[in-house]
Amino acid sequence: MAPTFPRAVRAVDTAQLLDLAREADMHSFSQRLPVHWLRQHLAAEATHYLFPTLVQRLTHRPETPLQWRCRQLLTVITGEQIWGQLDVLPDTFDKIPETLDTASKKDIVSRIERAVTVREWMERMGSKAGS
C-alpha cells in the first residue's frame, strides 16, 4: 500500500538537508542538487523547507523506490532564499518533525512561489562574478 501523500511543509537545518541530498544521491533520484554544491552555497546555520508536490514513480526503473518530489526553499550564503526540487523517500519525510504552524506553512509556500530558482540564482551569481 502506498504511503499517504502529505500536504505539509517541513523545516530542516543544513545538516539534515545534506543528509536528504545524500540519500537522494544514493538512490539516484532525478531531482537533487549535488551535496558538494549544497555545502558550498547553503548558509550553514539556516533553516530550509520542504513542500511535497507530487508522487514520483519511475516505471522505467522499477527497482527505484517511490518518492515524493518536494519543492525546497533554500537559504544560501548571500542570505537570499531560492527554490529547487528534491526527491525524498516517504518514510524519510515522515520522520522529519512537524514544527510549523498553519500561518508559517502558508508563508513558506508563498515565498517558494516568489523565489528565484537555483538555476536563476546561479546565473545571476555568475554574471556578478564576471562584472
Segment 70-90, tens digit of pLDDT: 999 999 999 999 999 999 999
pLDDT tens digit sequence for 11-69? 999 999 999 999 999 988 888 899 999 999 999 999 999 999 988 776 777 777 788 99
Q: Give the integer Cα–Cα distance in Å for 77 and 41.
A: 6
Q: Could you give the 3-state DSSP secondary structure of residue 30?
A: coil
Range scoring the smallest mean pLDDT among 5-14, 18-27, 122-131: 122-131
The set of cell numbers assigned to 71 is 519543492
Whether 6 shows a pLDDT value over 90: the answer reads no
Question: What pTM was computed for the model?
Answer: 0.89
**pLDDT at 131 exceeding the cut of 90:** no
Domains in the chain: boundaries: 10-129
Give the residue ranges of DSSP H helices in 14-101.
14-26, 35-41, 90-95
pLDDT in tens, 102-111: 999 999 999 9
Q: What percent of the chain has pLDDT over 90?
A: 73
User: Which CB contacts under 8 angstroms, 24+ apart, belong to 121-124?
Assistant: 121/76, 121/80, 121/82
Query: Beta 81-88 vs 116-117: how paired, if at all?
Result: parallel
pLDDT tens digits for 112-121?
A: 999 999 999 9
